[in-house]
Chain A
């Protein structure tokens, strides 16, 4: 096709919704017919505005939704720092600030909204800010460094978030709200009062029902004067008095706009001009603009669908919200304010505990219409689903909100009830996943995506899974095996608390029987994590899986593979030669592994000590390829060679691999370190992944390859070397203590109530005060590490088992034979046991003595 037959689609605004639109357009093939040109006024590519406040902790890079700065699809052009000044629908062009004009076939407005700054005198003085972009936050941070008192004008959701930010920046913080209560859009009066009390406890000063008369100051703000005449002196003002859709381009082009602002769109997001579309916060559907990101994402998908001539329609969105504001749970859903005719309120309030719950019920008392929860929002998931599915209320609806009811006793949601509204997953979908074999809520999340976005439906998902099992007469049995009626985490604590050192003590006190191939290795792993003794110590070796018992990986024909550690994948030519010589001399198959090291296959039990003697003498250590332990820390070449590298990723990978080598854990552990955001080490596919930034390192956790791949999520950003190591120490020890057997970090994080946020609380914010203890546990591991293989070849007692036969130590097992493929050995298929025939065993057998 000749290029000028292609059409051009222009997107104005590269915010969250504009970005989502482009992603969907590329995914669904719109770029097959259109060249897509994206014009964004901000200097940065789209970033996670919802998480804006975490900028102070994690920095700008971590918030980016397009870290590489550009789309991979060459048919998409992204122009940042480019403001569209005018739109001409007649000539189908937009013009930029510098006069350049760009023609379009289709135009998508995704210009978002702008903070509303009330026109009070002094609103434009120095020291007055809004809270919308990363630049805004940078400016606030700089001003706060020179200030002691700040005020936020506006006590809504965003205002409280901004107030919390000022408080964290060390300012004495005031909040001014014209309405008689905080968060008036979401909560009712009584809920607002309880919220106010929570907020005041944190040391914020709240002024409600107060109008601002004037901001004081000559050049820079010095104070605020209220309508009553009272003046509070201060140095920083943040306006957070609501937002206004950025609909100027549409207005000036003569497109229809809604009464209260916003570009008017139909059910397919088309404006009054057939070639102009509007999505996100700048759009008004049926006169209404949505200040949340989820409806914007839905609009983006539907607009792409419409451009592909699909039939999808936007029918409005659920405005239910649940959030943790300043540590307080606040949720509102459905008709929270009871505006439906004849509706009845049902209220539970406990001012001392700081809990307020209200249900809005239909006039006939049969349906739940909406509600407000403050201080305890655990029932949110069920209640929201009850509203959307219009199921009948139970006889005593008050039961739904009495304390300690985490949902709805006696209420059964119908199959079609939408449990996860972010991803439109119904109860039926969830039960289907369980029928299909999912045994845990975490598995259901992976299979159905329920709970994978905002996470607020997770308790509900868990309950449905448990109820389902209960209805089948199955108790979800969390026992390790028939010998221990507890989970691995519980066992870990039992061992720690009692200070047990042997399997015998543990099974006698807390188990039954003599254990099995499930619990014995678990006990071995727990003892190893706590005591770090040798895995082949006399009372330990019979607990180990064969891989640990022979410090090598068993293969299909009963031989073993040998994997020496090559920290960070860096190796000298001399050492490479040694590996080659050992492989050649013992006739082993060699292969480069996916973990940046070399695997030598086909070693017989009795050969392992001699092979390792050679390797240890050359300076190699065990690579623990056999253990539920640290495997590798993969590295990219980093700043020492690579022209893009900003930190020495190889040095860091080596340091981390050496630090955590030998660490026994619930499942294997892998790490990665990349020297820049290009991420050549695939660190985000690892349990802990480190990516260099200009200022230090970003730490990602919970990545996984394997059957259920997961990208690691950002835990903390811009750490220096010491902070990075401290965070990984804590993260790994927390995992080791609390994860289940064979649970990788990604499923472990999913299984925690609160997920990654919980991990961050414990690891970064040290909410449980466990930080030092976890670091000390890791320090003990590091201090007591010895190379398992070196210790083994030096100890005749440990070597005793490395024989082919107890009565013929060096006679090869006749069942092992090799063929050859591509010039190397391969196991030969077995057709049944092979006998060696009568052999003379000589006189050296140590038997017959009493």
Chain B
């Protein structure tokens, strides 16, 4: 019951073999294919959510898939607010899921 990469062997469009890559996601190694976006790698590996919302920490992942909603943002190699659905994964990318708690109000 999760998202996933369509197995090449079953795919009617007959994909050629692609190079493998791996990225680190919150310290864990996740394997993907060259040319996938970071969201593609994450969803392809069965992950549905990675960001936590600021207000209550509830999980979020891809929503719009085309770079418009910014729900899927991650930190990549130290740079925050990167849309996982837009950024191609590169072998060795260090991805950290984002959670920005609201500042405590000083009153």
Partners in one complex: no
Chain A contacts to B: CB under 8 angstroms: none
